[in-house]
Amino acid sequence: MRIVALQGSPRAESNTQAVLDMVLDGARQAGAQTETVRLIELEDFRGCMECFGCQGVADKPDCQVEDDMLGVLGKLMKADVIVWATPVFCWSPAWPLKMAMDRFFCMFKFQEDGQIRSLVEGRRMAAVVTAGGKETDGADLVQEICRRLVEFSRCKWEGTFVAAEVKDLESIRKDAALAGRARAFGKKLAS
């Protein structure tokens, strides 16, 4: 079992990374191999141009934007589980994750008969969302964005782990109940 997490916080030491670490720790405890891609650390990372150049090849992403995201897309093609991890920024995913989601467009192949083929069909996907406010103050909207992307991708939605009303790294790391829930979610992803 290989789990690849795309971590979308623009901060190096973020609440999102702390919670994601707990989730992935649970997955590793259950035997999964995990990898985290911190999108903000990609040296060359650009957004989708919606040029449709990716549609020229049916069996691989073939994104025409030549940057570090190409390697990330290759990792996603080999993953059993893809995790989208982000803080809530103005009722949506943080911009690095949103850019990665936009680039995910090249995973869809629009066929002449009107059908859409997904290069990641059948994989499992989940989300890890952190929020300073209540779950209904934006985390619910981010969860819905992720769920719809999963549905369009023809993947299996494994749900969202939401850490709401988180304040800082110290309080997250001291929260045994949060850690227990996060590890349990990770174990579920590894099963």
pLDDT of 12 > 90? The answer is no
pLDDT band, residue 112 (cuts 50/70/90): confident
Tokens encoding 107:
């995973």
CA angle 157, 54, 69 (to 5 degrees): 65
What domains does the chain contain, in order, with CATH numbers?
2-190 (3.40.50.360)
pLDDT tens digit string along 38-51?
999 999 999 999 99
pLDDT band, residue 137 (cuts 50/70/90): confident
pLDDT tens digit string along 68-80?
999 999 999 999 9
The torsion region of residue 100 among left (phi > 0), alpha (psi -120 to 50) and beta comes to alpha
Q: Which residue from 17, 87, 157 is spatially nearest to 25, judged by alpha carbons?
A: 17
Contact between 54 and 106 under an 8 Å Cβ cutoff? The reply is yes
Highest mean pLDDT among 30-39, 49-58, 86-95: 30-39
Q: What is the mean pLDDT of residues 97-122?
A: 93
Q: CB neighbours of 110 closer than 8 A, spacing ≥ 6?
A: 55, 116
Tokens encoding 74:
């290759």
Q: Which residue from 100, 7, 21, 93 is spatially nearest to 61, judged by alpha carbons?
A: 100
Residue 160 CB-half CA count within 13 A:
23
